[in-house]
Amino acid sequence: MHSLRTRSLLTAAATAFAAALLIILLAGCKGEDTPAEPEPGIDLPVTGDHVTDAQGNVGFDLGGLSLDITVQDAAQQPLEGILLRVSLSSNYVCVVANDSSSQYYPDIAIETLPTHASTQKPARSPAASQQTIYIVMTLTETTLLVYEYATDPDHIGDLRDEQHITWVCDSLNAEDLLAVIASYEGWVQQIGKILHVTETAGEKLGYTTRTIAFAEDIVNAGLPLFVALLGEALGIFGDDIGYYCYGTHSDGRVITPIYLMDIELHRDFELRLTLTWGQDPSDLDSHLWTPEIEGSTYHVYYASQGSQESAPYAELDVDDVTSYGPENITIYQFFPGTYYYSVFHFSGAGTIATSSANVTVLGPEGELHSLDVPPDSAEANWWWNVLTVNGETGDITIVDEISPNPPMPYLAGPQDWNRPK
């Protein structure tokens, strides 16, 4: 997965910078307990909304500070009509780019405000006292509904500590979080589609920090898929209670990503198996066979999705038929005997071996395994027999085998493997 590339160019010459606005902006950090108040007439943070022109540019003058922002695609072609929210706080300028068509993921650039200097770009000659910050944002084209940054954007953690930003915080489960995102319109919703997991929360989830961006139509995807995406990208499950915060301007506009500050884990399951894959084949299916439970054995898959509350005490959350996934099968209660988990190539170009499929195995305490489909030879409608689980001990045996056959009988036989859904 490629990183969202946010690049900034800031050059400084050692000349005095005495512009009144920037002095006011930088006056806000005298001490953690006694922050300086801005002078009358200046409402920190300063913020504005802009749209890129045909050259992918937005430029504007704030008196002593000038911002020159360029938005481009991976081929360095300018992107017109990208919505930008630009905010200046005590120490940083924050730019969030959002493509309302969902062709590109949202992106964020956070730059440190210079304390003094004069910058100059070739072919432009700002006044000696003028400070110019140049920011180039390279947007990544949308493939999945959620994108994970390879590395956190610069200063994203520091922005959470900025003064003069009004922070709105609440404890939310996944359903509540989606409702918050869906309840806003326009810019508030768009800014809220970048989510950063802080160190405090990340340590409880089995990593340090993490940042993701949701595609524009995440709200329309619905709650089951939203929950599945949170689980696959961040290890957050539907009943986990997160303490989320986002920063606002005094007029109520949201100007920061959403921050997951802390989390209370609610893991009422034994095992969760998460399947993701590439664009082709378009439809892979998760399958789980159980041992005998209350007098019967069960096959959990798209036509029989199981139940959390009754036998088989295992459930498939969603049948994704349009590429990528995720699909989750969750086992809520183990029973003695062997569980078999496999992935089937139901339809679409390519084979199971060329699908880029991945299965993440999660237990109550976090990730146990991450398995990629082996690059073996395969034909259409073949299987990836992934693993077995001992229901008595919980021990997992990795099978990792490409096969023309499933590990257990499938209804009436092979003729039912890819019957119409």
Helix (H, G, I), strand (E, B) or coil at 261: strand
Q: What is the DSSP letter of 225?
A: H
pLDDT at residue 190, rounded to an integer: 54
- For 241-280, the pLDDT digits (tens) are 999 999 888 777 788 899 999 999 988 899 999 998 998 9
CA distance 318 to 326: 8
Output the pLDDT for position 299.
Answer: 96
Integer Cα distance of 112 and 17 in angstroms = 15
Tell me, what's the pLDDT at 200? Answer: 96
Query: Pseudo-torsion of CA 106, 213, 67, 25, nearest 10°?
Result: 140
End-to-end Cα distance, the chain: 31
Instruction: Give the dihedral sign, CA 32/36/41/47.
Output: negative
pLDDT at 355 over 50: yes
Summarize the chain as % helix, strand, coil (round to 5): 15, 40, 50
- Pairwise pLDDT comparison (42 vs 327), residue with the higher score: 327
**Contact status, residue 12 vs residue 114, Cβ threshold 8 Å:** yes
pLDDT of residue 21: 30
Provide the mean pLDDT of the chain.
82
Q: How far apart are CA 369 and CA 367, in angstroms?
A: 6
- pLDDT at 18 exceeding the cut of 60: no
**pLDDT for res 63:** 63
Contact call for residues 361 and 271 (beta carbons, < 8 A): yes
283-304 pLDDT, tens digit per residue, is 999 999 999 999 999 999 999 9
Confidence band of 40 (pLDDT split at 50, 70, 90): very low
Partner residues linked to 385 by β-bridges: 342, 401
Contacting residues for 195 by C-beta, under 8 A, at least 6 apart:
211, 212, 213, 214, 234, 257, 258, 259, 260
Of the pLDDT bands very low, low, confident and very high (cuts 50, 70, 90), residue 417 is low
What tens digit of pLDDT does each residue of 65-118 get? 889 999 999 999 999 999 998 888 888 999 999 888 889 999 999 999 876 433
pLDDT at 175 over 50: yes
